[in-house]
A and B are shown apart, each in its own frame.
Chain A
């Protein structure tokens, strides 16, 4: 298999608090890896390390043969190859939906406005938001904003897409419209690393599950094994905390 992203022994610490403790895994091309774990287990930090928003104290992260180093000058070139969607959407409030999507392709990839807008419209159609092209972010619902954020990331043709708890800030009735977009992306073979609390979504979309607890990978496996036959007590406890019995 084609390995695209390799996380090797990554350790991240703030002074005396170790957030990530020798975490290693790799992601193959077209694979969807879902990371779950209790709050504060380091899963969002891990995504931030991959996009070089955090310095790491040990280990390295390699994207398609290139080591990601937060101190390096040409960081933007490697970030261009990684897409990231945040919990809080982070659309640009002073730009319309269409401008949000075309800005980076036009300025970074130097694509012409026409071509960029054409591609943006095709993507908007795919997520059912064509009629919102000239709306400003604040005129959209949370679910619509997040769908725009996803297609905005896609405009850069990223080799890997990082989704950081993208439904955590949404009202429950909007979660589905966003997750359906992600399931659709998985089906077309996008490489994604997803951090989420939506376990049924995780099961539906994941090729591989990772359970992170206390900054370490406690368990890793196929969704079937992960959910139906968790091998560790910690994972059993974690999964159990999501189920209710009357």
Chain B
């Protein structure tokens, strides 16, 4: 079945190292996206025409453009056009953060909008201040509404990192290809074994996150309406 190549030399370790490269890029991008997305999402609810036009344009642009085109644009494009040389990994982090921030901001905006004005007033009428209202009433509700969706975004980001091999980053998929190439003669069936293993690795990386989201959804289900 071609699983034997994994036991040759350091192949399995190399795959795991590749997985770590993919996870590192997604993890850093996710953290940046969360932070910037929350800020941008809050700004988007302010109803300032300038912010609205800019953020809407940004969001649409990022969503329309395939992530791969963005990767090429940042990695190859900037070198030629701006004369700056940024590493492939940094390019991917920039691209994934741009994308994640846009999606996250939209989630935050949606969640903030979904809380009716009168919930704030209900809190104010009990004598709570603006900061108490956000801390105890609004933010907990927003987090509950956003968590399943943002976890979904995180798994999407992890999966999409397989694209970064296109700009030369040796992540898990690229390592897999290398192993298959190197063992073409000795294990012609390596493709199945290696890709099945990679499938399993992605699954193991994303599944716990999915599970967490499900259990939180279930836990909060009773208190969400």
Contact = CB atoms under 8 A, between A and B. Distances in A.
A154 B121 CA distance: 16
Interface stretch (A21-29, A86-94, A216-224): A86-94
B133 to A, nearest CB: 9
Contact of B125 (A84, A92, A95, A103): A84
Interface in B111-163: 118-119, 121-129, 132, 136-137, 140-141, 144
Nearest to B220: A94
A94 B140 contact: yes
A136 B223 contact: yes
Interface in A82-130: 82-84, 86, 88, 90-96, 103-104, 107-109
A93 B141 contact: yes
B97 to A, nearest CB: 30
A51 interface: yes
Contact of A90 (B122, B129, B220): B122
A162 B137 CA distance: 22
A139 interface: yes
A76 interface: yes
A86 B141 CA distance: 20
A131 to B, nearest CB: 17
B126 A152 contact: yes
Contacts of A90: 118-119, 121-122
B225 interface: yes
Interface size class of A (residues with CB under 8 A): 20 to 34
Contact of A156 (B118, B121, B126, B140): B126
B10 interface: no
A76 B223 contact: no
B197 to A, nearest CB: 42
Nearest to A109: B127
Most buried by B among A75, A81, A92: A92
Given A107-B136, A108-B132, A93 B225 contact: yes
Nearest to A77: B127
Contacts of A93: 141, 223-225
Contacts of A153: 125-126
B137 A80 contact: no
Given A77-B127, A94-B141, A139 B222 contact: yes
A136 B222 contact: yes
A139 to B, nearest CB: 7
Interface in A31-78: 51, 53, 75-77
Nearest to B133: A76
Contacts of A53: 121, 124
Contact of B118 (A76, A86, A137, A138): A86
B127 A108 contact: yes
Which of under 10, 10 to 19, 20 to 34, or 35 or more describes the interface residues of B?
A: 20 to 34
A132 interface: no
B119 A76 contact: no
Interface in A181-239: none
Nearest to A107: B132
A88 B118 CA distance: 9
Given A86-B118, A138-B224, A92 B137 contact: yes
Contacts of B225: 93, 137-138
B115 to A, nearest CB: 10
Contact of B126 (A88, A95, A108, A138): A108
A76 B129 contact: yes
A68 to B, nearest CB: 13
Contacts of A95: 223
Contact of A82 (B122, B125, B141): B125
Given A93-B224, A103-B126, 19 more contacts: A79-B124, A79-B125, A79-B126, A83-B125, A84-B125, A86-B118, A93-B141, A93-B225, A94-B140, A94-B144, A94-B220, A104-B127, A104-B128, A107-B128, A107-B136, A108-B132, A153-B125, A153-B126, A156-B127
Nearest first, the 9 closest Cβ-Cβ pairs linking A and B are A80-B127, A90-B122, A104-B126, A138-B225, A84-B125, A136-B223, A108-B127, A76-B129, A94-B223
Interface of B: 118-119, 121-129, 132, 136-137, 140-141, 144, 220, 222-225
12 contacts: A76-B127, A92-B141, A93-B223, A94-B223, A104-B123, A108-B126, A108-B132, A109-B127, A138-B223, A138-B225, A153-B125, A153-B126
